Structure formats: structure tokens, C-alpha cells
Amino acid sequence: MFSKNPLPSDYKLLGEDAYFTEATEPLNILWENRHFTPKDRLIRGTNACLLILLMIVVSFIIISICKSTALDISNTYEYDTCDTINEAYDDALDVYAF
């Protein structure tokens, strides 16, 4: 299609014969991480896993403390029915309840 030296192909593209050329090697590759050795990568990976594990454990502890506090608060006050409230306030319930 758009090449100087097309390679033959048995494929069709939009009803026309497709021609392909080999791609050139890229010249602008940035090798930013090539100075890290496999040992460095292992240490970094291990540190990342340990940090994630620490965050999960801390989250679990915080959630457990919050849940325990919520249960303590809910157990402090007894469950009461509307009948008990109506008996206590009788006709004055409209004054106290909006």
C-alpha cells in the first residue's frame, strides 16, 4: 500500500491486497531502569509488598476498633418500643417531638 519495498501477503485490507514492510529499529528508546540489578528489583518488590501488607494490617486494626466502639455504644442504650415512649410522654409527645 504505502511502502517502497512491499513484502507479499495473502491478506486483503478493505478489499485490496495488503502489503507490509519491516519496521525499522527504534532509535529513541529511553532505558531508564537499566541500572537496576535483579537484586535491586527483588528488594524493591519486597518493600512494596511489605508496605501493602502493613497498610492492610493497620486498616484492619482501625476498622476493628471502630466496630468495637460502635458495638459498645449500641449496647449502652437499651432498645425501647414506641408504647413505652407513648406512656412516658402521653399527650406531651407533640411538644417534644417535631
| Chain segment 21-31, per-residue pLDDT in tens | 777 777 777 77
pLDDT attached to residue 98: 60
What is each CA distance from 49 to 42, 46, 53, 55, 97, in whole angstroms?
Answer: 11, 5, 6, 10, 54
User: Which pTM value belongs to this model?
Assistant: 0.50
Gap between the Cα atoms of 21 and 8, Å rounded:
9
Mean pLDDT value of segment 61-70 = 96
Instruction: Give domain limits for the chain.
Output: 12-96
